[in-house]
Amino acid sequence: MDYRKLGPSGAVVTAYCLGTMTFGKESDEAASFKMLDDYFAWGGNFIDTADVYSAGASEEIIGRWLKARPTEAKQAVIATKGRFPMGDGPNDVGLSRRHLNQALNDSLRRLDVEHIDLYQMHAWDALTPIEETLRFLDDAVRAGKIGYYGFSNYVGWHIAKASEIAKAQGYTRPVTLQPQYNLLMRDIELEIVDACQDAGMGLLPWSPLGGGWLTGKYKRNEMPTGATRLGENPNRGGEAYAARNAQARTWDIIGAVEEIARAHGVSMAQVALSWVAARPAVTSVILGARTSEQLADNLDAAKLVLSEEETAKLNEISAPTPGQYPYGVHGTNQRHRRIEGSR
Q: So which residues are the catalytic ones?
A: 53
Number of other CB atoms surrounding residue 130 within 10 Å: 17
**CA gap 16, 43 in Å, rounded:** 10
**CA gap 139, 134 in Å, rounded:** 9
3-state secondary structure of 146: strand
**CA gap 248, 124 in Å, rounded:** 33
Q: What Å distances lie between residue 235 and 223, 244, 248, 289, 290, CA to CA? A: 11, 11, 19, 21, 20
Whether the Cβ atoms of residue 129 and residue 169 lie closer than 8 Å to each other: no
Backbone phi and psi for residue 186, each to the nearest 5 degrees, phi listed first: -115, 15
Whether the Cβ atoms of residue 150 and residue 204 lie closer than 8 Å to each other: yes
Q: Where are the alpha helices (DSSP H) in 43-151?
A: 57-68, 70-75, 97-111, 130-142
